[in-house]
Chain A
Amino acid sequence: MKNSILYEVFVRAASSSSHHHVGSLRAANDEEALLNARDLYARRNEGVSLWIVRSGNVITSAPNEQTSLFETEGKAYRYPAFYPVPKGVKNL
């Protein structure tokens, strides 16, 4: 594993869906990573497209920011269910 690079792998499962993260792998370079991604994550026709990204290039939110970034308490009005639909009214 010396000098190998860690890559994150994203697979587009079907035409029209977006790429989803499936896991990571190690490779010596980008070309090899793409080939490895195919062999490792798409052996059974799992997708129509692969994206690989060097793990070091992924910028993540910190685990301890979970509440401050994603807090929605008291913001139920952002969801349609917050608004009662009067009886008999349709297609809202």
Chain B
Amino acid sequence: MTNNIATPVTSETHTNDLAFLARIDNDEKIEACDWMPPDYRKMLIRQVSQHAHSEIIGMQPERNWLTRAPSLQRKSILLAKIQDEAGHGLYLYSVTETLGADRKSLVDALLDGRAKYSSIFNYPALTWADMGAIGWLVDGAAIVNQVSLCKTSYAPYARAMIRICKEESFHQRQGFDILWTLVHGSDAQKAMAQDAVNRWWWPALMMLGPHDSNSQHSEKSMRWKIKRISNDETRRRFLTQTVPQLEALGLTAPDPDLNYDEEAQCYRHGDIDWDEFQRVIAGNGPCNKQRLQTARTARDNQSWVLEASAAYTQNQSKQTMH
């Protein structure tokens, strides 16, 4: 713990802090009603709400292909996946409410462009093969992160992650299945699969966050066991399980420096273009403006449903009173 002379802490807070850290060190889970340091609460609301926003915005690249999925079966699968993403967003917003956050304020912050969400969803889904690459690579990367979050110290978040991981496993498999089908099709279909992998490969590595040495919130988050595995370790795990799958597909990664480290028994990637990552995070990726505009339009166009529901409820209660 850092000693900040400018802001003296009361001895009571200090005792609470120490007791809290002891619980964390003991691998105890923190429940909504338990005492927690204000910064722990704040950090969780930030992380969980960003996670929720990512699920909600993440529906958009796939929605783009719903009407053009190549068969009724593929359409049903894509629809089921998008429905899961919406559900994941809602599980996570409900976790933020256990922390005392106001769901509407969080959603407003997203729609006003004040809140962050995963960089990955600011890239366009240009072809059908992108549905495969998103499911396999993007959900694959997300799963590695989410599996580690099943052990996060905040119990309501951990419970939501366990549920989410269970549902995610079909997402990754259907993505791989789309690519597997394409690579066993015509030359043009195989080329389409390779093109999608070329475009999603680097963004999928970037979405796991900056290198540990540059990660702003990591140290405190790891200390409190909100986050259990560092960004670089998550990336290493993702790469090591994904490269053999890439080879099974007969496709290649757009990384000439990708190599297997015999000693560490893992794959190593080449340099990541962090300027691109920063650009996308700052709101200047290929689709940032379009994503927020679509989300705002959806809110505006669908507000009548909420209004109608409220009006109906009011009428019903009037009728019961008479």
Smallest distance from the beta carbon of A39 to chain B beta carbons, Å? 22
Q: Does A63 contact B (CB under 8 A)?
A: no
Q: Does B172 contact A (CB under 8 A)?
A: yes
Q: Are B173 and A85 in contact (CB under 8 A)?
A: yes
Smallest distance from the beta carbon of A10 to chain B beta carbons, Å? 14
Total of A-B residue pairs, C-beta within 8 Å: 51
Q: Does B80 contact A (CB under 8 A)?
A: yes
Q: Are A86 and B76 in contact (CB under 8 A)?
A: no
Pick the interface stretch among A1-9, A23-31, A54-62, A75-83: A75-83
Q: Are B170 and A16 in contact (CB under 8 A)?
A: no
Closest A residue, CB atoms, query B245: A89
Closest B residue, CB atoms, query A87: B248
Q: Does A15 contact B (CB under 8 A)?
A: yes
Q: Are B31 and A15 in contact (CB under 8 A)?
A: yes
Q: Are B159 and A90 in contact (CB under 8 A)?
A: no
Pick the interface stretch among B174-182, B192-200, B215-223: B174-182
Q: Does B292 contact A (CB under 8 A)?
A: no
Q: Are A77 and B76 in contact (CB under 8 A)?
A: yes
Tell me what chain B mostly uses at the interface: helix, strand, loop, or mixed: helix
Report the contact-size class of chain B (Cβ under 8 Å from the partner): 20 to 34
Q: Are B248 and A89 in contact (CB under 8 A)?
A: yes
Provided the pairs A15-B28, A49-B31 are in contact, do residues A77 and B248 lie with their beta carbons within 8 angstroms?
Answer: no
Smallest distance from the beta carbon of B313 to chain A beta carbons, Å? 14
Q: Are A77 and B77 in contact (CB under 8 A)?
A: yes
Which residues of A sit under 8 angstroms from B207, Cβ to Cβ?
Answer: none
Which residues of A sit under 8 angstroms from B28, Cβ to Cβ?
Answer: 15
Q: Are B80 and A75 in contact (CB under 8 A)?
A: yes
Which residues of B sit under 8 angstroms from A92, Cβ to Cβ?
Answer: 172-173, 176, 245
Smallest distance from the beta carbon of B184 to chain A beta carbons, Å? 10
Instruction: List, sorted by A's number, 18 A–B pairs whose CB atoms are closer than 8 Å.
Output: A15-B28, A15-B29, A15-B31, A15-B155, A16-B29, A16-B159, A75-B80, A77-B77, A79-B170, A83-B170, A83-B174, A85-B176, A88-B248, A89-B244, A90-B244, A92-B172, A92-B176, A92-B245
